[in-house]
């Protein structure tokens, strides 16, 4: 009889602990997840292609999504590479999703490369690419990223910058105002959700209720 009592108590404690884990929401550290950019190649009169690498830091994540727009008065096209390291990216109708299948992805690193082509007949010397709604899932959300790309002369190497959150450092500004939402043709799916599934939480709660009922019955039988 004593062993049965001990077993019931242990089961009750374990189920209460597990149900607490399932019910309590998981909060990402505020401001911990950040998306930044680096212009690794600026466009020039001779070569009108710009290359921008996006990186994340702060928290580990398996998925990063967001929305991209750009100045169509300056850029001919803006594309995202489908593969960058361990990351795969889909891009459609101004929305993108980058996903990695790594079991334990690093807490920081590069996740996608952007290739932007400047129009040959543009009269502007700078254009803007804007990333909004940046979401790292359980890792948290990042501030908007503004990328200002400057058309370089023969010997001009200024205008490169990096962004943390929504702050940008670049050369002189002469930004076109029109935005475009054209993207490539690959279809994207929703960002994968991590953590304990909702049905698992329901199962654990049910187990707690059963354990409590059995414990009450046991206590009554001892009287």
pLDDT, mean of each 10-residue run, the chain (223 residues): 60 61 45 89 93 95 96 95 93 92 92 96 95 94 95 55 37 32 35 45 64 69 65
The predicted structure's pLDDT at residue 151: 93
- Residue by residue, DSSP assigns 76-105 as EEEEE-SEETTEEEEEETTEEEEE---SS-
The predicted structure's pLDDT at residue 128: 97
The predicted structure's pLDDT at residue 53: 96
pTM value is 0.59
User: Which sequence spans correspond to the domains of the chain?
Assistant: 2-26+197-221, 34-180
The predicted structure's pLDDT at residue 204: 64
Fold of 34-180: Immunoglobulin-like (2.60.40)
């Amino acid at each position: 009889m004593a062993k049965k009592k001990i077993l019931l108590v242990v089961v009750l404690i374990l189920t209460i602990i597990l149900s607490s884990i399932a019910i309590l929401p998981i909060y990402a550290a505020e401001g911990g997840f950040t998306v930044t950019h680096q212009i690794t190649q600026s466009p020039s009169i001779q070569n009108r292609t710009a290359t921008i690498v996006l990186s994340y830091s702060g928290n580990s994540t398996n998925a990063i999504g967001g929305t991209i727009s750009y100045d169509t008065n300056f850029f001919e096209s803006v594309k995202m590479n489908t593969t960058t390291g361990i990351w795969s990216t889909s891009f459609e109708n101004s929305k993108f999703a980058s996903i990695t299948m790594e079991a334990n992805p690093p807490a920081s690193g590069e996740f996608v490369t952007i290739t932007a082509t400047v129009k040959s007949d543009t009269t502007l010397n700078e254009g803007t690419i804007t990333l909004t709604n940046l979401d790292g899932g359980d890792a948290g959300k990042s501030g908007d990223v503004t990328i200002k790309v400057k058309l370089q002369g023969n010997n001009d190497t200024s205008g490169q910058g990096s962004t943390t959150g929504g702050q940008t450092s670049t050369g002189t500004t002469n930004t076109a105002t029109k935005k475009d939402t054209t993207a490539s043709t690959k279809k994207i799916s929703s960002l994968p959700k991590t953590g304990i599934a909702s049905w698992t939480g329901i199962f654990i709660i049910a187990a707690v209720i059963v354990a409590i009922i059995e414990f009450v019955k046991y206590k009554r039988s001892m009287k």
